[in-house]
Amino acid sequence: MAGEVQLTCSTHRDYVPVLNQPQLAYVLLEMATTQAMANAQMPLNFCFVLDKSGSMDDDNKIAQLRQAVKHAIDLLQPTDIVSIIAFDANPKTLCASQTAQDKNRLKREVDRLNASGGTQMASAMRAGLKEVRRNLGRDRVSRLVILTDGQTEGEPECLREAENAAREGISVIALGLGSDWNDNLLMDMAQRAQGRADYIASPEQIVQHFQQQVQAGQGAIIQNALLTLRLMQGIQPRKVWRVAPLIGDLGVQPISDRDAQVSLGEMVKDQPQGVLAELLLPPRNEGRYRVAQADVSYDIPLGGIVGEHTRADVVLNYTSNPALAQAVNPRVMNIVEKVAAFKLQTRALQEAQSGDRAGATQKLRQAATMLLGQGEADLARTIQLEADRLEQSGQMSEEGKKTIKFSGGKTVRLS
């Protein structure tokens, strides 16, 4: 069966000028699950690994956390598998791995969650992996959902546990609450375990983040998606970005002089994926060219489908007519601009870290201007504020830095 995934390609211009030197073209590839997959839902094998250290007593955090876990339990199917580990300096298994049939009993266990003690995340991850391992299988989405509000002891062990998880096909979602946690650690863990890190600014947002995680797990019906670009002779792929649901550099693997491959991982239903490829085009005479063939291969564990394909052509016209070569596709250009703003923010954070105050301020201001023009007013305001703060005091706020780091990549919404 084919037709579970729809792939469409658009370029930033339909016509590029005939030049005697290479030029850059932007290609937007959009992938979405089709109507055929509307009712599909993946069974889960989730372990919630929850920080119950003393600091969770502040600002009603622990109460909000209890509520968020209970809400997540409500969203589970009776056949989903769930376990809950609470940790301070030591892990404690609140619920061993089990199906979510008796939700009331599970929720009663959640009520035992009280804040006290230190923070030792690695041993809790180990305990969580032990629970998830009991029901591992390709037909389930196996995942650790970790929430922490503080700095942990034993960071290298956390990274090792993330790698152990990845080896067994268990992904790690690492959620940081408030401003006092190490974002580099959480991002690194998530990256090593094909997961995602995110920033929860205030306790009342925990519930919404947990809901998103359950729904994203249930919707992760497409696995092992792999994009292959077969390029026209002479084309160099310069960069390949994921743009939606989250902007990030995908890294491009040349597999021959004509083919480049990018791993897309899982695809979530109702959450279109976007990829922006920057291709360096060689000089060509006037005419119409297929500059690349895009091929996405994927698996659908629910239907026992392995290695299904969908393909699309990327076609461009070379022209000597300057008026034609000037017209751009505004939709693609908006996304190119959002990626440019994201790059500026990333570089600004690095420059601020290394003490280049002027460079960082200038880049933040430029990013804010671009985002404001794109209607991303809240993010632009935060960036503007942090630019002012950096210029005046040489420091950015922890909250501002985390907002920029984690929201800066969420600006592209495909529909």
Partner 1 sequence: MNCPSCHAQVPDGASFCDQCGASLASAMPPGAPAVPAPAAPMSPQQFAPAPASGGTTCPSCGTPFVPGTAFCDNCGASLTNAGVPQPQPIPQPQPFPQPVAPMPQPFPQPVSGAMTARLMIGGQTIAVPQKPEVVIGRADVASGSFPDVDLTPYGASPQTGVSRVHAKLTWQGAWVIEDMNSTNGTMLRGQKLAPHQKTPINTGDPLIVGTLQLTFYAS
Binding site for partner 1 (CB under 8 A): 12, 16-26, 232-234, 280-281, 283-291, 313, 315, 317, 319-326, 328, 330, 333, 336-337, 340-341, 343-344, 362-363, 365-370, 372-377
Q: Which is nearer to partner 1, 73 or 281 (CB)?
A: 281
Q: How far is the CB of 363 from partner 1 (least distance, A)?
A: 7
Output the smallest distance, CB 272 to partner 1, in A: 21
Task: Find, among 140, 144, 96, 92, the residue nearest to 116 by Cα.
Answer: 92
Amino acid symbol at 257: D
How does 11-34 read in b/e, with b if 16+ C-beta sit within 10 Å?
bbbbbbebeeeebebbbbbbbbbe
Least distance from partner 1 to the Cβ atom of residue 301, Å: 34
Nearest-CA neighbor of 360 among 407, 408, 396, 414?
396
Q: Which is nearer to partner 1, 25 or 106 (CB)?
A: 25
Q: How far is the CB of 351 from partner 1 (least distance, A)?
A: 12
For 34, the token pair is: 């089709």
Contacts of 126 by beta carbon, 8 Å cutoff, 6+ apart: 91, 161
Q: In angstroms, give the least distance from the CB of 242 to partner 1.
A: 18
Which CB, 307 or 322, lies closer to partner 1? 322
Distance CA 176, CA 182 (A): 8
Q: How far apart are the first and last CA of the chain?
A: 25
Query: Of 12 and 140, which CB lies nearer to partner 1 in the complex structure?
Result: 12
Measured from the CB of residue 315, what is the shortest distance to partner 1 in angstroms? Answer: 8
Of residues 120 and 319, the one with the C-beta less far from partner 1: 319
d(CA 372, CA 131): 46
Closest listed residue to residue 179, CA positions, set 377, 401, 351: 401
Contacts of 392 (CB under 8 A, 6+ apart): none
- H helix runs in 24-154, sequence order: 61-75, 103-110, 121-133
CB of 174 to partner 1, least distance (A): 30
Which is closer to partner 1, CB of 126 or CB of 242? Answer: 242
CA distances for 60 relative to 63, 88, 106, 174, 276, angstroms? 5, 17, 21, 21, 42
Cβ of residue 322: shortest distance to partner 1, in angstroms? Answer: 5
Distance in Å, CB of 194 to partner 1, minimum = 29
**String of b and e for 319-352 (b: at least 16 CB within 10 Å)?**
beeeeebeeebeebeebbbbbebbbbbbbbbebb
Q: 191 or 289: whose CB is closer to partner 1? A: 289
CB closer to partner 1 out of 60 and 354: 354
Between residues 39 and 285, which has the closer beta carbon with respect to partner 1?
285
Min dist. Cβ of residue 336 to partner 1 (A): 5
Provide CB contacts within 8 A for 157, sequence distance 6+. 122, 123
Q: Which residues pair with 305 in a beta bridge?
A: 300
* 245 preceded by a cis bond (ω within 30 of 0): yes
Q: Of 307 and 375, which has the nearer Cβ to partner 1?
A: 375
- What is the identity of the amino acid at 366? Q
d(CA 380, CA 343): 14
Distance between CA atoms of residues 205 and 198, nearest Å: 12
Shortest approach of partner 1 to residue 23 CB, angstroms? 4
CB closer to partner 1 out of 227 and 368: 368
